[in-house]
Chains A and B, each alone.
Chain A
């Protein structure tokens, strides 16, 4: 068996811009995240009504995964696809919103539909539901994008035979500040970009 791993594709959403494999896909200047992501939804015709129930972190991760995965032919079963994501702010954006709803005894309005998004791995759940991925999961937290840790984690899953393909990357959202960088890792070498820690680091840093 070929033990080499490859990056089949990557998608970035940041600064009101979307790029797929380094090529521009969509831009909308001068709008906040909520306007931007709605415009992206329409432009890319996601047609997925659950999208509007999601919190901002999940919308961001969902949108990036949609654009990336549409461009890829996945040739392993859903049970062999892992999703390993990382971020800095966990679910803090929604946590703060939820805390607002319980801080005042006389104005107390906690909602289960908000509370459920106070876990950072919910975005993984949303992506798995859409694509019927039932493989490995992990949501890692680090102050900044740690290419080495994502790489080590992904390698350990492949080495142990736990995944056939893996969606990995960074999905971070807090107070209108956002950044998504997703990579799809496979054993297929048709794209011929080797999966290396340095490679994902340079793709991540190559954003202007």
Chain B
């Protein structure tokens, strides 16, 4: 089976509309999480990471008519356009697939004041994906993955598997979600939001912040593809289910540990080979505790681990792609980025939380995620 290389990438987020702006941002400790006082998103103020609408509209005007697309679609189109600029992958080829990962897509169109702006079907994920496909002229049936908070990580695994099996030569994986009253109120009813900026793995952590954005990663079987002069491959990945509870993480971390074990096996490496973990780290009490137990049980206690939720909030279907791209940048720039919001160790398992930026040589990095429905995913990137 052929190897799967990363050809190009882009991140659109409150920190910027290119991967460079985003990596420079987190490197310099800039966070997109701010206090949001906005009636259209929440009846009460909350901390979240929101993209400036004026900037988004202005940027979008350069490539398309903003009136024809929803906010969610604009994020996808902007991000994919930028990712394709630096790539030899032909989006119009039958051998190129386009895979969109999202949890809620155009869910804001259910709001009464937005209902008439677009056709009724537009709230459907397949219709939204079709709009994006048509914009780029991709000839294949739009692929959409909606698997809660593991969507982005699972989409990269799925795309990599499809390329390995010979179904496609290249796949553009774009993960996106926007903030909406729907999503914010939902997490509020779960009492899952911290009233302050989130604090992953910290003793005083008390919940997550939400965010919005899009991350696009272009995968290919073309072995000439490089990122910052390095060949980076998706060397393995796997998912699992806790089979325990639909709305809470497992208390033991067994499910995530299983995904980690399978992804290592799939990559034909062992836990001792992993140099860095980009974890899910939502900063809820139960998620971070569960992850710490899973990493300990998997022999990963000494491996430097960070969570990027302090910079972006939890961007749901975008989190896995945005954080995977930043994992790749970590590998090419040899720089481990600190966990924003982390101060005092506060999890039961033994893990090595990155508390300050430090240089490191990284050959193999792991990205993990866990989500509602009991799902977990782990993905391994390697320098070839």
Contacts and interface: CB of A to CB of B under 8 A. Distances in A.
Interface of A: 78-79, 83, 88-90, 92, 95-96, 98-99, 102-103, 105, 108, 110-112, 115-116, 118-122, 124-126, 128-129, 131-143, 146, 149, 152-153, 155-157, 159-162
A134 B244 CA distance: 9
A138 B165 contact: no
A131 B107 CA distance: 32
Interface in B234-265: 238-247, 254-255, 258, 262
B182 A138 contact: no
Q: Majority SS of interface residues in chain A?
A: mixed
A124 B146 contact: no
Contacts of A133: 241, 243
A119 B373 CA distance: 8
A83 to B, nearest CB: 7
B241 A138 contact: no
Contacts of B147: 121, 124, 137-139
Interface string B205-243: 000000000000000000000000000000000111111
B123 interface: yes
Closest 3 CB pairs of A and B: A125-B373, A141-B144, A115-B186
Given A137-B154, A140-B145, 7 more contacts: A90-B146, A95-B107, A110-B188, A116-B246, A134-B243, A135-B240, A141-B126
A102 to B, nearest CB: 5
Contacts of B65: none
B351 interface: no
Given A137-B240, A149-B143, A99 B182 contact: yes
Nearest to B150: A137
Contact of A120 (B146, B241, B262): B146
B148 interface: yes
B373 A124 contact: yes
B360 interface: no
B103 interface: yes
Interface of B: 1, 43, 103-105, 107, 110-112, 123-127, 129-130, 141-148, 150, 154, 158, 161-162, 164-165, 167, 181-182, 185-186, 188-190, 238-247, 254-255, 258, 262, 266, 371-375
11 contacts: A79-B240, A83-B241, A90-B105, A95-B107, A108-B43, A125-B375, A131-B243, A133-B243, A137-B373, A142-B141, A156-B161
B1 to A, nearest CB: 8
Nearest to A162: B238
A157 B243 CA distance: 19
Contacts, number: 166
Contacts of B112: 103
Given A99-B182, A128-B241, A160 B161 contact: yes
Contacts of A95: 104, 107, 110, 182
B3 to A, nearest CB: 13
B239 A119 contact: no
Nearest to A146: B141
B372 A149 contact: no
B162 A152 contact: yes
Given A110-B186, A138-B145, A141-B125, A119 B241 contact: no
Question: Which of B129, B130, B154, B161 has the most C-beta atoms of chain A within 10 angstroms of its own C-beta?
Answer: B161
A110 B189 CA distance: 7
Given A136-B239, A137-B375, A149-B143, A129 B127 contact: no
A128 B182 contact: no
B372 A116 contact: yes
A153 B239 CA distance: 14
B241 A105 contact: no
A162 B1 CA distance: 15
Contacts of B240: 79, 134-137
Nearest to B241: A128
A174 B1 CA distance: 40
A90 B144 CA distance: 10
Given A138-B158, A143-B127, A162-B238, A119 B372 contact: yes
A120 B125 CA distance: 11
Given A129-B246, A152-B165, A92 B124 contact: yes
Given A79-B240, A125-B241, A102 B126 contact: no
Contact of A121 (B110, B129, B148): B148
A201 to B, nearest CB: 14
A108 B245 CA distance: 27
A156 B167 contact: yes
Nearest to B103: A119
Contacts of A89: 124
B98 to A, nearest CB: 13
